[in-house]
Amino acid sequence: MKKSKVALVALLGAAVVVSGISIVAFAAADGNSGKSSHTAQLSDKSMAASVRTQLEKPLSLGKGEITEIKKTSEDPNHIALSWAPVEGAVGYNVYICDRNVSDDYEKVADVKQPSVDINDLNDTSPYWIKVCAYINDGGSLYECPPSFIKTATQPADITDLDSTHSGEVLGFKWVENPLCTGYDIYRGSSNDDYNLELYKSIDKSNTEFEDSEVTEGVIYEYKICPYLVVDDVKYSAAGKTIYLMSGLGSPDDFISIKTDNGVILSWKGRRQADGYNIYLAKGDSGSYDLIDSTASTTYSVDNMEVGVNYSFRVQPYSAIKDITAYGTWSTYNINYDGSKPGAGGAINSDGTYIEISIDKQHLWFYLDGKLYLETDVVTGNDVDGYRTPTGNFSILEHDQGANLVGDDYSTYVNYWMCFLGGGFGIHDADWRSSFGGEIYKGNGSHGCVNTPYDKVKEIFEHTEIGTPVYIY
Give pLDDT tens digits for 146-167. 999 999 999 999 999 999 999 9
**What does each C-alpha distance from 306 to 268, 277, 290, 334, 346 come to in angstroms?**
27, 25, 22, 11, 16
pLDDT digits (tens, 9 = 90+) for 325-351: 999 999 999 888 887 654 455 565 667
78 has a pLDDT exceeding 90: yes
pLDDT at 287 over 80: yes
Span 51-69, average pLDDT: 54
Of the listed ranges 60-64, 75-79, 339-343, 405-409, the least confidently predicted one is 60-64
In this prediction, residue 288 carries a pLDDT of 94
pLDDT-derived band at 46 (thresholds 50, 70, 90) equals very low
Residues 310-349 as b/e (b if ≥16 CB within 10 A, e otherwise) read: bbbbbbbbbebeebebbbbbbebebebeeeebeebebbeb
Dist. CA 53–CA 64, nearest whole Å: 22
pLDDT value for 1: 36
Would you state the torsion angle of the CA atoms of residues 292, 295, 299, 301, taken in this order, to the nearest 10 degrees? Answer: -30
Q: Are β-strands 468-471 and 353-357 bridged in parallel, bridged antiparallel, or unpaired?
A: parallel
Above pLDDT 90, what percent of the chain?
64
Average pLDDT of span 13-36: 33
Most confident of 21-25, 198-202, 267-271, 392-396: 198-202
- Is pLDDT of 393 > 60? yes
Structural domains of the chain ordered from first start: 16-152 (2.60.40.10), 159-245 (2.60.40.10), 252-335 (2.60.40.10), 353-471 (2.40.440.10)
Q: What pLDDT is recorded for position 296?
A: 86
Residue 285 predicted with pLDDT over 80: no
Give Cβ neighbours of residue 224 (< 8 Å, ≥ 6 apart): 158, 161, 172, 174, 183, 184, 185, 209, 239, 240, 241, 242
Residue 52 banded pLDDT, cuts 50, 70, 90: very low
pLDDT tens-digit map of 193-214 = 999 999 999 999 999 999 999 9
Mean pLDDT of the chain: 84
**For the ranges 16-30, 202-216, 392-406, which has the lowest average pLDDT?**
16-30
The number of beta carbons lying within 10 Å of the beta carbon of residue 115 is 14
Average pLDDT over residues 280-305: 89
The pLDDT score that the predictor gives to residue 340 is: 63
pLDDT band at 391 (very low <50, low <70, confident <90, very high): confident
21 pLDDT above the threshold of 70? no
